[in-house]
Structure 1
Amino acid sequence: MKKFHLNKPLVFISSFWILLGFTLWSQLKRDYPDLNTFGTAALMVLCSAVIAHTLSNVFLPIALKKGKMQLFVLQTIFATVLLTAAIAGVFYGTYWLTIHGSPYDNEAQLTQNEDYFVVFLRTIPSALLIIGSTCGFQFYQEHYKMAQKHTLLQQAHLEAQLRILQDQINPHLMFNVLNHLHILMKKDVELASTLLVKFSDILRYQLYECNRETIALDKEVSYLKNLVAVEKIRWGDELLVDCIWNITNGKRDIVPLLLVPFVENAFKHVSRLPSEKGFVRLSLNQEDELLTFTIENSNSPKPARKNESSGLGLENVQKRLLILYPGQHDLEITRTDTNFKVVLVIHLDQKANYVGY
Structure 2
Amino acid sequence: MRYCIFLDVQNILFFNFKKITLHLLCWFLVWFFFYFFFSVGTSSKGFLFWFSSILSAISIVSSFVFVYNLIPKYLLIKKYKLFVLYSFYTAVFVTTAVLMTVALGFVFFFNLEYTQMPTLIKSPSVILVTVLLIIALASGFKILKHSYQSLEEKKTIENKFLKTELALKDQELRFLKMQIQPHFLFNTLNTIYGLAIQKNENAPEMILKLSNLLDYILYQVDKPKVFLKDEVAHLEDYISLEKMRFHDTLKVNFIKDIQNENVEVSPMLLIPFVENAFKHGIIVNDFFTININLKVTETKLYFTLENNFDKEKETIQGGIGLENSRKRLEMLYPEKHSLQIIEKENTFKILLEINF
Scaled by the length of structure 1, the TM-score of the pair is 0.60
Counterpart AA for 1:268: K
Structure 1 pair 301–160 and aligned structure 2 pair: CA distance change class (3 A): closer
Structure 2, gaps ≥5 residues long? 1-36, 39-54, 103-120, 133-144
Counterpart AA for 1:277: F
Structure 1 pair 199–306 and aligned structure 2 pair: CA distance change class (3 A): closer
Residues in 2 aligned to 1:288 and 1:98: alpha-carbon distance in whole angstroms: 74
Q: Tell whether 2:351 aligns with 1:332.
A: no
Structure 1 pair 263–101 and aligned structure 2 pair: CA distance change class (3 A): same
1:296 to 284, 301, 306: 306
* Contact kept in structure 1, 2:303 and 2:352, CA below 8 Å: yes
Q: Note the 1:248-327 alignment, pairs <5 A.
A: 248-273=259-284, 275=285, 277-302=287-312, 304-305=314-315, 309-311=319-321, 314-327=322-335
Counterpart AA for 1:230: L
Residues in 2 aligned to 1:52 and 1:141: alpha-carbon distance in whole angstroms: 26
2:124 to 77, 84, 105: 105
Provide the residue aligned with 1:232 in structure 2. Answer: 243
Residues in 2 aligned to 1:231 and 1:91: alpha-carbon distance in whole angstroms: 88
Structure 1 pair 179–278 and aligned structure 2 pair: CA distance change class (3 A): closer
2:173 to 139, 158, 169: 158
For 1:249, what is the secondary structure of its paired residue? coil
Provide the residue aligned with 1:127 in structure 2. Answer: none
- RMSD over equivalenced CA pairs, Å: 4.4
* Contact kept in structure 1, 2:181 and 2:218, CA below 8 Å: yes
Residues in 2 aligned to 1:87 and 1:134: alpha-carbon distance in whole angstroms: 24
For 1:170, what is the secondary structure of its paired residue? helix
Provide the residue aligned with 1:245 in structure 2. Answer: 256
C-alpha deviation, 1:305, in angstroms: 4.7
Residues in 2 aligned to 1:152 and 1:132: alpha-carbon distance in whole angstroms: 30
C-alpha deviation, 1:151, in angstroms: 5.8
Q: Tell whether 2:204 aligns with 1:193.
A: yes
Residues in 2 aligned to 1:307 and 1:345: alpha-carbon distance in whole angstroms: 18
Q: Tell whether 2:225 aligns with 1:214.
A: yes
Residues in 2 aligned to 1:232 and 1:134: alpha-carbon distance in whole angstroms: 65
Q: Note the 1:53-68 alignment, pairs <5 A.
A: none
C-alpha deviation, 1:52, in angstroms: 8.3
For 2:190, what is the secondary structure of its paired residue? helix
Structure 1 pair 92–223 and aligned structure 2 pair: CA distance change class (3 A): farther
My pick for the range that moved more, 239-248 or 160-169, is: 160-169
Structure 1 pair 204–139 and aligned structure 2 pair: CA distance change class (3 A): closer
Q: Tell whether 2:94 aligns with 1:94.
A: yes
C-alpha deviation, 1:256, in angstroms: 0.9
Counterpart AA for 2:287: K
Residues in 1 aligned to 2:74 and 2:338: alpha-carbon distance in whole angstroms: 44
For 2:345, what is the secondary structure of its paired residue? coil
C-alpha deviation, 1:91, in angstroms: 4.0
Structure 1, gaps ≥5 residues long? 1-32, 56-75, 114-129, 349-357
Q: Note the 1:171-182 alignment, pairs <5 A.
A: 171-182=186-197
C-alpha deviation, 1:255, in angstroms: 1.1
Scaled by the length of structure 2, the TM-score of the pair is 0.60
* Contact kept in structure 1, 2:220 and 2:267, CA below 8 Å: no
Residues in 1 aligned to 2:297 and 2:308: alpha-carbon distance in whole angstroms: 27
Structure 1 pair 41–220 and aligned structure 2 pair: CA distance change class (3 A): farther
C-alpha deviation, 1:225, in angstroms: 1.1
Residues in 2 aligned to 1:49 and 1:218: alpha-carbon distance in whole angstroms: 63
